Amino acid sequence: MAQILFYLFAAFTIASAAGVVANKNAVNAAMCLLLSLVGVAGLFVQLDAYLLAFLLLLVYAGAVVALFLFIVMLLDTKSRASASFKKLPMFASLVAFGLLLAGLGTFVTRGQLESRPLHAVPALGANLKLYAYQLFTTYLLPVQVIGFLLLIAMLGVIVLSKKYDGPEDA
């Protein structure tokens, strides 16, 4: 049962992720992204990481993709024909794809993944308290760094989007 569910959710996630890339209509692509996130949340539930699953739904599916759609709707991209590929970006993306493939290949063939039995792996995403504890101890620095990055991004957006005309505008 669990095996079947895993394959179902995995196939669903990958198929909708492919849909994000392949779709020319930006709204369709965003909806595919939403479905893909729901699939990932399903996979998290199968790993007993209920908290992570619902956080993923709450933050990414509920807010981030909604904002994507919001922007897509405002830009109204559907009337514009998609630009044909230029040579330099094409070359660059091919190189990047090759590098990614090579990296994945070495990871799969030579990587020394620590393969502990399933019950020995600590389920940090399963329990509210464990998750919060890890967030405020082991992963405190990454959390702070990401928070700072987001703050910088927000300031950048405000500076870029707000046009100051004169002193009375402030």
Shortest approach of another protein to residue 142 CB, angstroms? 21
Figure out which of the listed residues 17, 20, 27, 29 binds another protein, where binding follows CB under 8 A: 27
Fill in the per-residue mask, 35 to 54: x = in contact with another protein (CB under 8 A), - = not in contact.
Answer: ---------------xx--x
SS (H, E, C) the chain: CHHHHHHHHHHHHHHHHHHHHHCCCHHHHHHHHHHHHHHHHHHHHHCCCHHHHHHHHHHHHHHHHHHHHHHHHHHCHHHCCCCCCCHHHHHHHHHHHHHHHHHHHHHHHHCCCCCCCHHHCCCCCCCHHHHHHHHHCCCHHHHHHHHHHHHHHHHHHHHHHCCCCCHHHC
Point out which span in 68-76, 83-91, 110-118, 134-142 binds another protein (CB under 8 A).
68-76
- Interface ranges with another protein (CB under 8 A): 27, 31, 34, 50-51, 54-55, 57-58, 61-63, 66-67, 69-70, 73-74, 127-130, 132
